[in-house]
Amino acid sequence: MPPQPPGDWPASEVTDALYAVIQAIPDLRVAIAHRLGLNPSEVDAMEHIMGNSLGPVELSRRLHMTSASSTVLVDRLEQAGHVVREPDPADGRRRVLRPTAQGANAVFGEIGPLVTDLVEAEEGLSARERAVVVKYLSRVLEVLEQHTNEE
């Protein structure tokens, strides 16, 4: 029998539903990575690189990796044709990572249908219900950030 939470554990239908969503996300990321021919760390890296002007060191910090591990990861993405290293237009000594057209198209090809389906999932909600969901999710984000940043 799996371990059970303490008897005084708070019960909430909404929190249980949110927790189920949170638990489904890692499996989704693995599936997307598999379809893209990448590993989950490479998908995480692409997510950070898309739309951001990041250098390899900044990427390693965001991914909580050593610089050496991040360099190996970027090398793999570069060899796969998903990213390039370019001089930073503002600082020629610095290199920035940019997605290639191939890399961006691959990521958007996977994420686009997901976003479309998520937008469709909210279509039955009234404006008031949407506002409540946004308010709740904003509070959830604050709680998650608080627990992430605890020392």
Delimit the domains of the chain by residue range. 29-123
User: For 32-89, what is each residue's pLDDT tens digit?
Assistant: 999 999 999 999 999 999 988 888 889 999 999 998 999 999 999 999 999 999 998 8
Domain 29-123 falls under CATH 1.10.10.10: yes
DSSP code string of 15-74: HHHHHHHHHHHHHHHHHHHHHHT--HHHHHHHHHHTT--B-HHHHHHHTT--HHHHHHHH
Tell me the pTM: 0.78
